[in-house]
Structure formats: structure tokens, C-alpha cells
């Protein structure tokens, strides 16, 4: 449904998006996730037609809608997509029904057709009783539903979301994630959703593109990203909690894992990183044959178990355990690593086979 080839976007000498290529299947829910400044919102703005690419093309359903080489793009109103902004951007002088009605009027629908469609989408979003109210008379969560209703009213084939949940409280965010997925299924549209919250990404997406410094580090299903991260950035960005990375440094005696001599087969003579999953690490009060001593940082309950974190300089380890002795801040905690890591990465962050 969406094809992106070698997409680039520069602002002066700064290159926000650096040669991204991506194929988004029809009907999928793609999440662009990454830290602030990684280029995900710039990507979405180019998909919406609000920015012209510096290079590369964007095609919808086989039809090119942006071509950076020709400095050409189809204007947003003529694209088969709808957009929900982070700020919702509702027209304050229009009622809820009026906000939903406007894009239908622009699309050339008759008044009876618009009336039926407004009633249909307001019912779908559960806000039919708010039709006569103005944006300043409804809550933030209700305003978000109005923005979504306005977007889906003209029945676009592509839905674009720019961090639409960031202004909501934690409980409402969880509820609205479910609502957005219900709307996605009801419309059958292809959705592209931008967020910096990897929990949102992993719970909502059919496909995830992890972005970093203008590039896509990895593209795949949420399960694929957690099971087989392609880089240290992905390994430490996705998952709850994310994976642990322990440095392996060369030494005359052999590779040293966080200062402890390790199996020579781990990384030979080169510096590397070993990945250990939190659920594979044990926590003890006394040292073991494969334990690392760290300062206790925190412990918090998670899904009936306990998430324990320890630090030592730049090293930070997290373990998921059933129970541990009572620790206080500053206590020495021993994190016992499994015999073999789940994955190995080069010093530059690329995954080793």
C-alpha cells in the first residue's frame, strides 16, 4: 500500500531522514518508533504531503505521490490519507459535528450524505452525544476522539497518527490504544503511527520500524524485533524491560566479560557486546561462579514478578525474578549471568551471527 524508496529529507546541512526504503503491506498497522530527533515525525510529514522529500519517492497503491528528484509532491488534500496531529488541531469555533463535517464538505458530499456519515463516525467513536458541543467544552480524551472521527470520516485508505496519545494520562492512553486498534480494524485502512513510546509500539503494531538518527535500524514484527534484534540500539530500545548488554573486551588471557575472563568462543580477540535477557539473569546476595557485583538501584513489581536493577559505572543490568532478599540503595547485589549470551554484537553495534 505504501512504497518508500531511498527517501531523504534535509534542512540546510542537517539530514533528518537519510535514505529510508520501506514497503508497508495493505491493511497493516505500522509504528515508527525511536527517540526524539530520530526523523520519525519528518517521515510522517512527508507521507502526509506536508513536506517535500529532498530525494527519493513515496508511492501509494502504486501511484507516486512524492518525488524528491523532481521536487514534486501531491498536495495533502488530494492524497488518500488522513492525519491526526499530536495537538488534535480542532477548529475551536466549530462544534464536534462541524469539525467532522468540514472535510466531508471539502470532498463534495451532499448535505444528507454528510449528515449520515457524521452520525456514523460519531457513533463508532462513542461520542454521538457530544455532537453539539465545542472543543473547549469536552475533555482531552474526547477531543482526541473527535480528531480521529474527522480523519476517518472521508474514508481515506491510509491513516496517519503523529503521537496522538502523548497528551493523555497513563490510564487513558491504555484505553485509547485499544480504541485505535478497534478503529483500524473497522476501517480496514493502512495505518502509520509515530511514537517514542516503545510500549505503544510493541502492543499496537503489526509491523515496527525502529528509527535512529534518520535511518531505520530494523523493520519487522514486534516479536521479531524482541527475539532477534539486529543491533545494540534495537536490543536496548525495545522490550519491557529491554535486553541487557555487557561489554566484552580483549585481554592477554582472553576475552573479558565486564572484567571477568570469559569463554574464548564468545568474541575471539575483538571487543564486542554480549546480550542477556532480563528473565535469564538470577539475583543473589552472595557471589556465584558467573555473577557480577553491582550496586542495587531499584526493584519494582511487574506482572507478578520483581524487576531488579543494579549499576556499576556505565554498566546497568536488569533482572526479572520471583523474589530476592531485601536490598536498600547502595547494597551490593550479585547478578548471575547464564553460561551463554542470547546474542553477540560488534563494538560498533552490528549483530554477529
Please report, rounded to a whole number, the percentage of residues in the chain having pLDDT higher than 70. 94
- pLDDT tens for each residue of 263-308: 545 545 567 889 999 999 999 888 888 888 999 999 999 888 999 9
- pLDDT tens for each residue of 102-124: 999 988 999 999 999 999 999 98
Kindly report whether the peptide bond that precedes residue 241 is cis, defined as omega within 30 degrees of 0.
yes
Look up the CATH superfamily of 241-352.
Nucleic acid-binding proteins (2.40.50.140)
Residues 6+ apart with CB under 8 A from 178: none
Please report, rounded to a whole number, the percentage of residues in the chain having pLDDT higher than 90. 59
CA atoms lying within 13 Å on the CB side of residue 69:
7
The chain-wide mean pLDDT, for the chain, equals 89
State the average pLDDT over residues 251-267: 57
Output the DSSP codes for 282-340. Answer: EEESS--TTEEEEEEEEEEEETTEEEEEEEETTEEEEEEES------TT-EEEEEPPSS
What is the predicted pLDDT for the residue at 226? 92
Per-residue pLDDT band at 249 (split at 50, 70, 90) = confident
Give 55's DSSP letter.
E
The grid cell for 112 is 444528507
Per-residue pLDDT band at 256 (split at 50, 70, 90) = low
State the average pLDDT over residues 26-45: 93
- pLDDT tens for each residue of 46-62: 999 999 999 999 999 88
What is the predicted pLDDT for the residue at 4? 96
Exposed (0-12), middle (13-18) or buried (19+): which is 308, by Cβ within 10 Å? buried
State the average pLDDT over residues 248-268: 59
State the average pLDDT over residues 320-349: 89
State the average pLDDT over residues 20-38: 93
Domain residue spans of the chain: 2-232, 241-352
Is CATH 3.40.50.620 correct for 2-232? no
Task: Using the Cα atoms of residue 283, residue 286, residue 290 and residue 293 in order, give the sign of their dihedral.
Answer: positive
Distance between start and end Cα atoms, the chain = 33
Amino acid at each position: 500500500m505504501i512504497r518508500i524508496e531511498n527517501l531523504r529529507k534535509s534542512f540546510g546541512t542537517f539530514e533528518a531522514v537519510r535514505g529510508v526504503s520501506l514497503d508497508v503491506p495493505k491493511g497493516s498497522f505500522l509504528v515508527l518508533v525511536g527517540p526524539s530527533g530520530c526523523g520519525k515525525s519528518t517521515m510522517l510529514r512527508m507521507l502526509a504531503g506536508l513536506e517535500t522529500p529532498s530525494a527519493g519517492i513515496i508511492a501509494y497503491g502504486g501511484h507516486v505521490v512524492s518525488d524528491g528528484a523532481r521536487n514534486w509532491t501531491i498536495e495533502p488534500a488530494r492524497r488518500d490519507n488522513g492525519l491526526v496531529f499530536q495537538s488534535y488541531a480542532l477548529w475551536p469555533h466549530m462544534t464536534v459535528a462541524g469539525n467532522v463535517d468540514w472535510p466531508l464538505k471539502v470532498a463534495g458530499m451532499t448535505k444528507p450524505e454528510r449528515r449520515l456519515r457524521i452520525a456514523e463516525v460519531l457513533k463508532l467513536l462513542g461520542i454521538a452525544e457530544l455532537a453539539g458541543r465545542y472543543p473547549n467544552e469536552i475533555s482531552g480524551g474526547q477531543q482526541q476522539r473527535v480528531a480521529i472521527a474527522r480523519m476517518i470520516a472521508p474514508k481515506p485508505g491510509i491513516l496517519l497518527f503523529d503521537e496522538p496519545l502523548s497528551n493523555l494520562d497513563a490510564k487513558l492512553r491504555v484505553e485509547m490504544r485499544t480504541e485505535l486498534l478497534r478503529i483500524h480494524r473497522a476501517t480496514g485502512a493502512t495505518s502509520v503511527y509515530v511514537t517514542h513510546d516503545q510500549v505503544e509500539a510493541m502492543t499496537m503494531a503489526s509491523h515496527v520500524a525502529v528509527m535512529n538518527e534518520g535511518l531505520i535500524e530494523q523493520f519487522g514484527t514486534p516479536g521479531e524485533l524482541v527475539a532477534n534484534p539486529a543491533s545494540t540500539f534495537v536490543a536496548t530500545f525495545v522490550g519491557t524491560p529491554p535486553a541487557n548488554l555487557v561489554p566484552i573486551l580483549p585481554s592477554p588471557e582472553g576475552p573479558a566479560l565486564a572484567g571477568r575472563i570469559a569463554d574464548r568462543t564468545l568474541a575471539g580477540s575483538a571487543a564486542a557486546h554480549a546480550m542477556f535477557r532480563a528473565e535469564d539473569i538470577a539475583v543473589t546476595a552472595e557471589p556465584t561462579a558467573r555473577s557480577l557485583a553491582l550496586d542495587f538501584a531499584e526493584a519494582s513489581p511487574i506482572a507478578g514478578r520483581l524487576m531488579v536493577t543494579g549499576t556499576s559505572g556505565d554498566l546497568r543490568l536488569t533482572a526479572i525474578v520471583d523474589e530476592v532478599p531485601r536490598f536498600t540503595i547502595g547494597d551490593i547485589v550479585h547478578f548471575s549471568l547464564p553460561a551463554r549470551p542470547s546474542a553477540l554484537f560488534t563494538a560498533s553495534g552490528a549483530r554477529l551471527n
